[in-house]
Amino acid sequence: MIPEPGTTGSMFLLDRHGDGTATLTMNRPEKLNAMNRAYFEQLRAIMAAVDGDDDIRSLVLTGAGRAFSAGGDIESFEALTDVRSARNHLRLVFDAFDSVARCSTTVIAAVNGVAFGGGTELTLACDLAVAGRSATFGFKESGHNLMPGFGLVRGPEVIGRAWTQRLALTAETIDAETARAIGLVQEVVDDDELLAHARSLATMIAGNGPIAVQEINAFVHRHHAAGLHEVTEATALLFATDDHRIARDSFLRGTPKTFTGR
């Protein structure tokens, strides 16, 4: 059973504002809103509920604490012991991200602080994105001998092929202004103005024709699903490599990381 947002066991808080808008807050600040299996199950269920709720016409998505999301919870990777378990996990991950992209309700990312790995992918999944000045972004997966599968499918549509490759290949961190320049976010505002600004955009959208807004979103995302199956298989194979296990253990136990190419 999936916990309701805001109840015990839920990693999300849903705040309805009564004007056709709502704010969904990732609420795992002690882990920088890192994403594990429960996170993805809850996100998928919440987005399905939002999609069917006529009283929510636009949604702001943000993170509690000092991070939007630091990405995948590395501790949860220890359970992914072979290609089959990795494949099943990745299907859930990509379906959860895709539930954000496919939602007929407009989703606006209000990116506060760190947005690494899955945090950047989640930003890409949203319809619009605003960042606080202190926000930072990056695909960190290659440092763990993995790849940002959803980001490789979605990235070329949003930030172009070259920037998708650069971020995925280098695992570098970019700041909010660079993210704006490449189209990952559309605006950068002062941190203390972030939520208010995102909510103002949500209010503008909620005041427009709801059927027109839904059709606009559906039309823009009509080709989005292509490539997710192929990238699931490729990423699942990476989870089974020795180099991924070396990188995972290095992160969790503070041991040296030396890739072997196996």
Active site residues: 121, 141
- Reading the block at residue 31, the tokens are 């882990």
222 HSE (CA, 13 A, CB side): 6
C-alpha span between 78 and 71 (Å, rounded): 15
- SS3 label, residue 222: coil
Task: Give backbone dihedrals phi and psi of 162, rounded to 5 degrees, phi first.
Answer: -65, -45
21 HSE (CA, 13 A, CB side): 20
Q: How far is CA 59 from CA 2, 10, 71, 233, in A?
A: 20, 18, 21, 32
